[in-house]
Chain A
């Protein structure tokens, strides 16, 4: 009953979410005295590959000729690992394009948005449901199981071991033609971010977002927005968080000029700490927040940027 983890990389580099799922897999394996192996796709330097070992995986299989966008081909590769019974993925778009396909191929259960370790005795696991408004305890009825782990639900657990690398040059073309990619460069991705600075209609217009961006860069955060902000084209759709946008769970979520509608909260209320800046003392967001400032964003945000600069010195 070994644990196999998908170690996703982005142009040859692993990100925090990968190390997080490897950490999760190692914790699981430890609970059943077993070991963790990892699979990754594309060209990756050896010095990067062995980092997987820092979080407890003893072996990594690197398929350098398979395009990680080809979800069906990747699912097929995983089926070659029949002696594994637990498969761990992140909650990324790429992972979630593979997991349901794989579950049919290997006859397993599939649980997404997982927030607890798998309980091997009871075969249960906890997941987020109702858009983070609730948790659900799920019972697994099959021998094999695939889990997608909610980001930031576990954090990193270092556990250095020697990681053996096995290079495989299998070629497989899937049933998708990948035409082109457009990357949003140089930005921290929302699903990965430890800190998110998010803003709403209270910012009045896109021309004022430089305030949000300076605060974000000062504090090392990703930027997000409420739905009406992306609907009006002030910000790209990929920044929209909430029940119908992205669900995020950073350590710190700073909401500026966002009223805190239930649909917005649904996507952000699993953040560890929430700060709200709003002119309206009755804004519903204050009920969900840990720290609040009643005030005008155009006054408070510049002061906050200053305060963070001073703090860093």
Chain B
């Protein structure tokens, strides 16, 4: 079985978010980049499937050279091969096009993405890829099992869960539950040594159109100071919520 895991490189979750060039660009000064947390679940799941069923795992990123550390990390975690498409991921459409072109040229049974990237929060790439390739798409997966030529998925729906099955090839967007937090693989010494000799190839993009431009960014307004209420007068809180904040 051939598995492709699409990973994006995002600011570490503890990062303070700032912008530069008249708020037109994210300021990456001093920011640590990590594998998008939703993609980590899929990466670990694919390495588990490899151990169970003997799959080959390829990781793919559309991004500049700064994406390479996360690809190396994915190799150290257990992926067999990494591919970087050398282009600034300007919008979800351009990324989806590059990803689907890569998939067209290489055969995969299962493509695993994350539910959303935590930087631009598009939640768009995997669904777009599915349509570009006419494959089934299952969003927000919290469980995955392979059964012959089918894959059984448990997905989160609004107010519950749903089990669906699809035939290979298919594309899914995963989140916590695909594997548990405690199962997430981290690179060990042996993995890190091995990753150095694993292939990481760089491909040039096919130069596609973008459909949206990011014009500028802004930060939320600063909050007013917190009004403290004495723990012995909680009815004051109820009054404030009713009369001042008008939320109850």
Q: Are A137 and B215 in contact (CB under 8 A)?
A: yes
Chain A at the B interface: SS class: mixed
With known contacts A100-B126, A139-B215, A269-B220, A290–B245 Cβ distance under 8 A: yes
Q: Interface majority SS on B: helix, strand, loop or mixed?
A: mixed
Contact with A along B105-126 (1 / 0, CB 8 A): 0000000000000111111111
Whether A130 and B245, one on each chain, are in contact in the complex, defined by CB atoms closer than 8 angstroms, is no
- Partner-binding segment picked from A39-47, A162-170, A180-188, A199-207: A180-188
Task: Decide if B158 touches A10 in the complex (CB within 8 Å).
Answer: yes
A100 with B131: CB separation less than 8 A? yes
Task: Say whether A103 faces chain B, with CB atoms less than 8 Å apart.
Answer: yes
Which residues of chain A in 35-61 are interfacial with respect to chain B, using CB atoms and an 8 Å cutoff?
Answer: none
Q: Is B207 an interface residue (CB 8 A)?
A: no
B227 and A292: CB pair below 8 A? yes
Given A134-B19, A138-B215, A275-B237, are A101 and B131 also a contact pair (CB < 8 Å)?
A: yes
With a cutoff of 8 Å between Cβ atoms, the chain A residues found around residue B132 in the complex are: 104
Q: Chain A, 271-301, contact with B by CB distance < 8 Å: what is the 0/1 string?
A: 0110110000000001111111111100110
Asked whether any CB of chain A lies closer than 8 Å to the CB of B28, the reply is no
Residue B219 lies at the interface, judged by CB distance under 8 Å to chain A: yes
Mark each residue of chain A from 253 to 275: 1 if its CB lies under 8 Å from any CB of chain B, else 0: 00000000011001001101101
From B123, B160, B220, B224, contact of A134 by CB (8 A): B220
Closest approach, in angstroms, between the C-beta of A225 and any C-beta of chain B? 13
Q: Which residues of A contact B210 (CB under 8 A)?
A: 141
Interface pair B231/A300, CB less than 8 Å apart: yes
Cβ B215 vs Cβ A71 within 8 A? no
Residues of chain B at interface, number, CB under 8 A: 82
A96 touching B139 in the complex, CB below 8 Å, given contacts A243-B37, A291-B240: yes
Give chain B residues whose Cβ lies under 8 Å from the Cβ of A174.
Answer: 136
State which of B159, B160, B226 has its C-beta within 8 Å of the C-beta of A286.
B226
The smallest C-beta distance from B203 to any residue of chain A, in angstroms, reads: 22
Task: Give complex CA distance A310, B181 in Å.
Answer: 42
* Chain B residues within 8 Å of A105, by CB: 131
Q: Contact residues of A with B, CB < 8 Å? A: 10, 69, 71-72, 75, 92-94, 96-101, 103-105, 108-113, 124, 127-142, 148, 174-184, 187, 189, 191, 194-195, 219, 227, 231, 237-238, 240, 243-245, 251-252, 262-263, 266, 269-270, 272-273, 275-276, 286-296, 299-300, 303-304, 307-308, 310-311
Binding site for A on B (CB under 8 A): 11, 13-14, 17, 19, 26, 37-38, 92-93, 96, 118-128, 130-132, 135-140, 142, 152, 155-167, 176-177, 180-182, 209-220, 223-224, 226-231, 234-235, 237-242, 245, 247-248
